[in-house]
A and B are shown apart, each in its own frame.
Chain A
Amino acid sequence: MRSLAARLVLSPTALITLVCFYGCAVWTAYISLTRSSFFPNYEFSGIAQYTRLFSTERWNVAYANMFIFGVLLVAGALALGIILALMIDRNVRGEGFFRTIMLYPLAMSFIVTGLAWQWVLSPSIGVQHFVRDLGFPDFTFDWVARQDRAIYTLVFAGVWHQAGLIMAIMLAGLRGVDRDIWKATRIEGIPVWRVYLGIVLPMLRPLVVTCVVLLSVAVVKSYDLVVAMTGGGPGFASDLPGKFVVEFSFERANIGQASAAAVVMLGSIFAALAPYFYIEMRRKAT
């Protein structure tokens, strides 16, 4: 059999994939349908865990935060990333320098990112302190420490971390555009911005969709950033589902609630991937 060795080599991977990814996901889904709390309890209880979850204030805050954080992060990182890519595509001098500085955040962990931004935004030592020292004693910028604003500060850090990735992906796309298109539009005398808006960006639409999907998936998975930056606080004002699940799994030990929340996360991931599948299906159809 020609592929015997290949099959042997792949069988542990297949087994691990089946057990660790799908098996565990099904296990979690199953727990979420039982009466488990501190210990797993395999007595079936329908969607009771979910109804309870969605009547827990902390979860509702965390879940809503995911959407606030998500919409702002996707919009912010996408806008900044695309603008930067367009600018760098205009043959700027020092391209290497700009690229280097825009991409280094990606090499940093979310823990480091979160801590650094926590300091930048900290009222006692960061921007507020700095501006007050400049002679504006009434200046206030204390969002990290405010119940109603903490979630927005995560967006700063998130955009800072992810915009470079979007820039790199979009720039690669821009550079891949057929040069003859640029020649043709020059001959027709079409202004550069119209070429970008009317021709080039629409050509890169699949890439933009990819970026949106990537960012959305990152949002749903977010965990370390909020741990390092706000600890989910003040109180649980900036909590996110990822943190909720980990805390309920290990610290507060309510496996039933944690599992239900994890399943909601998984559902959100699939929702975030939906545009991608849609595009794939359309591509296959044509």
Chain B
Amino acid sequence: MSVGRIGLYIFLAGAALFFAIPLLIVVMTSLKPMDEIRAGSIFAWPMAPGFAAWVKAWSSACTGLACNGIQVGFWNSFQILIPSVVLSVSAGAINGYALAQWKPPGANMLLTALMLGAFIPYQVILYPMVKIMSNVGLYNSLPGIVAIHIIFGLPVMTLIFRNFYAGLPDELLKAARVDGAGFWRIFWEIMLPISVNILVVAVILQVTGIWNDYLLGLIFAGREYAPMTVQLNLIVNSQMGEQEHNVNMAATLLTALPPLLVYVASGRYFVRGITAGAVKG
């Protein structure tokens, strides 16, 4: 091995350490009792690892006044996640198909509008959206936050599927039309079966995106349906008295776990998802 290559591996190992350290610290600290944290350093290996902090974080940590643990947030996030992902991915798939394959008049305009819409910061439309949502009676409710996730997911989801369907040969649709199939039949029987990969990518993107969302949940879900990220921040940043670092870090890990599992399980799809979501076309 040449000197250059050794240097390369040393640099890569250093970088790997940089990426790993925050997670390692959070994991190690969450397994320690508070005494050990006070006495030692967060970089030290836990002497007697235990899950006490995890249990407390899950079931009895305090978010403001209530002390029911982060499990409340977990179930809220879960209830928000499922319908939001299913509906926003479906909407994206159908929209993308209609735009790319049927090219109705105005398709390009809608596409441009969506593409630019994807760049508008939430902050710019937050206040009017709150007004609209409370006017239709959905503000601070589960259907409300689901609707918000669908709306804000619309540009990226539509663009991902549009790009996929635009990559198919036009002749596929033509052949199916000569065969006499209509809009929906072609979607169900021909387009959807070949979209499995892109569906997986879109689902991963939305699952991680919606689970990790903080701002929309904070504003639109209301106290009752506050998602896990919001509850986590409450637990950690509004605690009075001495910080229970182990409980905080356990709660953090519990919040990070679902998307991390998705990441580990999905491998390459995840990378495709984030690059597709980021590059937007």
> A residues touching B (Cβ–Cβ < 8 Å)?
2-3, 5-7, 9-10, 13-14, 16-25, 27-28, 31, 80, 83-84, 87-88, 90, 92, 97-113, 115-117, 119-120, 125-126, 129-130, 133, 160, 164-165, 168-169, 172, 210, 214, 217, 220-221, 223-224, 227-228, 231, 241-242, 245-246, 249-250, 255, 258-259, 261-263, 265-266, 269, 273
List residues 91-139 of chain B with CB under 8 A from any CB of chain A.
91, 94-95, 98-99, 101-107, 110, 113-114, 117, 119-129, 132
**A109-B125 contact given A101-B16, A168-B274, CB 8 Å threshold:** no
**A119-B214 contact given A80-B15, A172-B275, A266-B124, CB 8 Å threshold:** no
**A109-B43 contact given A259-B127, A265-B121, CB 8 Å threshold:** no
Cα–Cα distance between A21 and B264 once the two chains are bound (Å):
34
Asked if A117 contacts B212 (CB within 8 A), the reply is: no
B191 smallest CB distance to A (angstroms)? 12
Asked if A160 contacts B22 (CB within 8 A), the reply is: yes
**A17-B110 contact given A115-B236, A266-B120, CB 8 Å threshold:** yes
> B residues touching A (Cβ–Cβ < 8 Å)?
5, 8-9, 11-12, 15-16, 18-23, 25-26, 29, 37, 40-43, 91, 94-95, 98-99, 101-107, 110, 113-114, 117, 119-129, 132, 151, 154-155, 158, 182-184, 208, 211-215, 218-219, 229, 232-233, 236-237, 245, 248-249, 252, 255-256, 259-260, 262-264, 270-271, 274-275, 278-279
From B103, which residue of chain A is reached at the shortest CB distance? A3
B187 smallest CB distance to A (angstroms)? 9
Q: Which of B5, B113, B233, B274 contacts A228 (CB 8 A)?
A: B233
With a cutoff of 8 Å between Cβ atoms, the chain B residues found around residue A16 in the complex are 151, 154
A155 smallest CB distance to B (angstroms)? 13
With a cutoff of 8 Å between Cβ atoms, the chain A residues found around residue B15 in the complex are 80, 84, 98, 102
Asked if A108 contacts B259 (CB within 8 A), the reply is: yes
A196 smallest CB distance to B (angstroms)? 13
Asked if A119 contacts B127 (CB within 8 A), the reply is: no
Asked if B8 contacts A249 (CB within 8 A), the reply is: no
A-B pairs, 6 with minimum CB distance: A109-B212, A5-B183, A6-B102, A24-B125, A107-B263, A24-B128
**A107-B129 contact given A13-B95, A24-B124, A269-B119, CB 8 Å threshold:** no
Cα–Cα distance between A120 and B23 once the two chains are bound (Å):
10
With a cutoff of 8 Å between Cβ atoms, the chain A residues found around residue B125 in the complex are 20-21, 24-25, 27-28
Q: Which of A102, A223, A266 contacts B19 (CB 8 A)?
A: A102
A–B pairs, 9, beta carbons within 8 Å: A17-B110, A17-B117, A28-B124, A108-B212, A112-B255, A115-B233, A130-B42, A224-B215, A265-B123
Asked if A9 contacts B98 (CB within 8 A), the reply is: yes
Q: Which of A17, A28, A102, A165 contacts B278 (CB 8 A)?
A: A165
Cα–Cα distance between A273 and B136 once the two chains are bound (Å):
34
With a cutoff of 8 Å between Cβ atoms, the chain A residues found around residue B21 in the complex are 120
Asked if B208 contacts A107 (CB within 8 A), the reply is: yes
Q: Which of B29, B117, B263 contacts A119 (CB 8 A)?
A: B29
With a cutoff of 8 Å between Cβ atoms, the chain B residues found around residue A17 in the complex are 110, 113-114, 117, 154-155
From B274, which residue of chain A is reached at the shortest CB distance? A106
Asked if A111 contacts B120 (CB within 8 A), the reply is: no
With a cutoff of 8 Å between Cβ atoms, the chain A residues found around residue B104 in the complex are 3, 6-7, 10
With a cutoff of 8 Å between Cβ atoms, the chain A residues found around residue B127 in the complex are 28, 31, 249, 255, 258-259, 262
A263 smallest CB distance to B (angstroms)? 7
Knowing that A21-B155, A168-B271, A255-B127 touch, tell me 10 more A-B residue pairs with CB under 8 angstroms.
A10-B107, A31-B127, A107-B208, A109-B214, A112-B252, A160-B18, A169-B279, A214-B278, A221-B122, A246-B126
Q: Which of A98, A108, A228, A269 contacts B12 (CB 8 A)?
A: A98
With a cutoff of 8 Å between Cβ atoms, the chain A residues found around residue B154 in the complex are 13, 16-17
A26 smallest CB distance to B (angstroms)? 9
Asked if B42 contacts A119 (CB within 8 A), the reply is: yes
Asked if B274 contacts A242 (CB within 8 A), the reply is: no
Cα–Cα distance between A164 and B248 once the two chains are bound (Å):
26
With a cutoff of 8 Å between Cβ atoms, the chain A residues found around residue B11 in the complex are 83, 87
With a cutoff of 8 Å between Cβ atoms, the chain B residues found around residue A92 in the complex are 8-9, 12
